[in-house]
Structure 1
Amino acid sequence: MPERPPTDAGTVAVPRPLGLRDYAVEAALRLATSLLFAAFAYAAAQQWLADPSRITLLLIVLAEFVTIAIALTARVPEKRDWSPISVACAIAATYYFLWIQLAPGIHLVPEMVGVALQAAGILLQIGAKLTLRRAFGLLPANRGIVSGGPYRLVRHPIYLGYFISYIGFLLVNFGLQNLLVYAVQLGLLAVRAVREERLLSADPAYRAYQDKVRYRVVPGLF
């Protein structure tokens, strides 16, 4: 997302004042997210203790921790998409990990191949999220526009990182439930990307950025 341009006076536009409702909604979302992640991390830890060779379990917890930690410290946005579709997609895509089958599945590839893919995806996510700094959140919103780092390659590099790490985990922990979870999750991420851009395209700077960076998530495909 391209950086928000300064005004003619050389200063950044002042956001609207945030109300009590904004902070109450954020507090509820962040508390619920923290509790649900803690339950997921505990369940994954129990599975890992039963079989410490399953490094992919540790990495999926790490990946979700990075996502949630940054979301919990993000600033409250001045504008956000509260449409039912966007809210439903955001909730399902954020808390999808609750439906992941953590018990041992079918190894389609060796454990370390999945680990390598997960690590690559996590590193891409971290790089993209650090580029965003505190402009990352759970719901589609205009938190300012960024165009540096991995955002020079695709418009949603965080989602590309998710995709790579999902594939890594699924290949080592394959099963019908996990296949369905990740298929739905990828579909939801696609919907989120489209709806986020619908919100952001109201900003002329973002439209200029779209002209420069052609693909949303996967170069040459989407």
Structure 2
Amino acid sequence: MNSAPWRQRPAGAGRQAPIAHALSHFTSKQCGLGAAKLRNRRQQKMFWAKRAMLAMMALSRMKQGGNTMSRKLISLAGSVCLLVASAVVPGQAQDSPIGIAFAEAPEQSSGVCTGQNTDKTLACAREKCAEGGAMAKDCLRVKWCYPAGWSADLFVQHKEGIHWHEYLCGWDSREALMAAVAVACDLSRRDFIRECSAVRLWDDSGREMEAN
């Protein structure tokens, strides 16, 4: 006796189901909008690893014969998904806190960089210090704050004439930073200093501005 019509499997249905399942892992909701909700980099990596694993599992269940075009289609869908991700992830990176690094070669040069990696950002600051004319070995890593907050570059001169720069960072507002500058440049507390003033400021996004 023949099976009821609604129980019969259409030709090719067994092959197309895994294809549809594999493609489902690369829909705009799964790849673009799903990743957009993940602000943590570790979570994003886990998200993409899971997407790839699920797609590979679906592919492994496909029959080996006659599916060349299907596999190409899935590969193309995966590429589109990665393109969507590349448009989503940079926007999230901008939302993440940045740090600020300062390097100084006294009486010679200085360098300032912003970034999220401590070692790389400090290395960048030393490179900029060397570009300013100092020997690389003289460019010392003098300050790192993460998050950067509001920051200031102070010009300080000793009564004997030598001068150097000091740096403040990590303050939550311009007002708080300027209060810290006032304390750092209080000559009644530092009687060996002839001059002290802020010459550059950076806001909490790393944008440089004049101090006055």
TM-score, normalized by length of structure 2?
Answer: 0.29
Larger radius of gyration, structure 1 or 2? 2
Q: Of Structure 1 and Structure 2, which has the larger fraction of its residues in strand? A: 2
TM-score, normalized by length of structure 1?
Answer: 0.28
Q: Of Structure 1 and Structure 2, which has the larger fraction of its residues in helix? A: 1
